[in-house]
Structure 1
Amino acid sequence: MPRVSVRSLLLACLVVLPLVLSAADQRIVVFKGERRLELQQDGKIAKTYRIGLGFAPSGPKTKQGDGRTPEGTYYVCVKNAHSQFTLSLGLSYPGPGDAARGLTAGTITKAQHAAVVAAHKRRTTPPWNTGLGGEIFIHGKGSGSDWTLGCIALDDADIKELFATIATGTVVEIRP
């Protein structure tokens, strides 16, 4: 068995522990009206990024194909290092609130509503194939205009930086 010096162990703890702790204290807040994404650390703004949104950015997403970016509180459920949009962070849209509205509007079934709620309780990926739409990502390929189908777009350098920092489970709040 290899010997590990106390110094090496302490150095490893000093490097790794802040990374583990920082992931738990991170949050992403998106301000749609201002086209801004904030990375927050311990409740303070750590970094701000310019964003592009869906091609119909006003209002919350209510159905597949509406071109809107959702509003509400979600979490990162998937990290895709092989995205056609450089890198991407998949969001847990639709959430329970979206599903409740969709059920009331007749956009989704009771079974689909139950599946969304169950996925959120397990902190897994909700169904992305309902009438509410899905596969909402924070990704690269440019923030200069509102061009996505509902995703949040950053410049490539920015998504590379954010992707390296964010863990699955990170809370993402999207405000109007």
Structure 2
Amino acid sequence: MRCIFYLVAFALLTAPSGALAQSSTSLDADDGALHHIVGGKPATLFQKPDSTSRAYVELDFQEPVRVVEQAEDGWREVTTRDGARGFVRANALSNVWIRIDKREQVVQVLRGARLVRTFPADFGTNVFADKQRRGSLTAPDHWRTPEGRFFIVEKNSNSEFHRALVLNYPTAEDARRGLRNDLISRGEYEAITRADSARTRPPMDTALGGLIEIHGDGTGGTANWTHGCVALRNEAIDWLWLRTRVGTPVVIEP
């Protein structure tokens, strides 16, 4: 999750005055030098913009890199946080991330520090609290939207709610809390933390709950009705679907 913190810090520290107040700009422009590895798998750093050149190192999925300049034929020259410099395929990189504000009931899409779009959103029935455990018909108070740093771990085009971007909840932090509070077993804790380390889909059938998504069929912020998901109008999730990938960071704030 370090790269998500890195992206948020970059956005807050480098945003020019008023930048985060913009409502719309182009997502086609490649704004901002800080990117992260997306696509659900590592990317190779090469000596030259040529896959037959010397391979330096494998860059982990979600690892932050800084783009030095564009190169020819779909390559980018980058530097890593360890100081390595080389070339990666442009389609392995993104600087798009999502900020969700529960208090304001909005989903914001940013490229680096620049706000691109803002969408009104619906949240869990209990919008004021952080998610602690699975909700149910007998415990609707726990239909809450979790807070923290996540990423898109899966995209579901066959969702019952039009389309869905599945988040990697529960995280290792949630697993530690669940084990401490006797909500999950040691085996469930280890399974969640293994998935967190591997940046894969965690178990979503424990007492902590799961299947937290950004999905469609929303009302545009006029009602909070979900079981913890974030619901957008269908035209909004369609727009977001085309501009996000597995690995896109998502920050959910109270």
TM-score (norm 2): 0.61
Q: 1:59, CA displacement in angstroms? A: 1.4
Task: Give the direction of change, closer, same or farther, for the CA distance of 1:71–1:90 in structure 2 (3 Å limit).
Answer: same
Counterpart AA for 1:111 = G
Partner of 2:200: 124
1:145 correspondence with 2:216:
no
SS at match of 2:209: coil
Q: 1:20, CA displacement in angstroms? A: 2.7
Task: Give the direction of change, closer, same or farther, for the CA distance of 1:19–1:58 in structure 2 (3 Å limit).
Answer: farther
Partner of 1:156: 234
Alpha-carbon displacement from aligned partner over 1:13-68 (angstroms, at most 9, x marks no partner): 49xx99737x5211111111110111110122111111100111111100101110
Separation in 2, partners of 1:67, 1:101: 18
1:30 correspondence with 2:100:
yes
1:97 to 173, 179, 194: 173
Counterpart AA for 1:39 = V
Partner of 1:54: 124
Separation in 1, partners of 2:181, 2:201: 23
Alpha-carbon displacement from aligned partner over 1:119-155 (angstroms, at most 9, x marks no partner): 0111110000000000000000013310100000000
1:64 to 122, 131, 134: 134
1:20 to 77, 82, 91: 91
SS at match of 1:132: coil
SS at match of 2:208: coil
Separation in 2, partners of 1:132, 1:123: 18
The alignment-based identity, stated in percent, is 33
Partner of 1:3: none
Worse-matched range after superposition: 149-158 or 36-45: 36-45
C-alpha RMSD of the superposition: 1.9
Partner of 1:170: 248
* Structure that is richer in helix per residue: 1
* Structure that is richer in strand per residue: 2
Separation in 1, partners of 2:134, 2:205: 9
Separation in 2, partners of 1:26, 1:114: 31
Counterpart AA for 2:243 = T
Unaligned runs of 5+ in 1: 1-9
Which runs of 4 or more aligned residues in structure 1 lie more than 2 Å from their structure 2 counterparts after TM superposition? 17-21
Unaligned runs of 5+ in 2: 1-71, 76-87, 136-141
Separation in 2, partners of 1:80, 1:148: 17
Q: 1:102, CA displacement in angstroms? A: 0.9
**How many aligned positions are there?**
163
TM-score (norm 1): 0.87
Separation in 1, partners of 2:195, 2:134: 19
| Greater RCO, 1 or 2 (C-alpha within 8 Å, sep 6+) | 1
Separation in 2, partners of 1:124, 1:43: 27
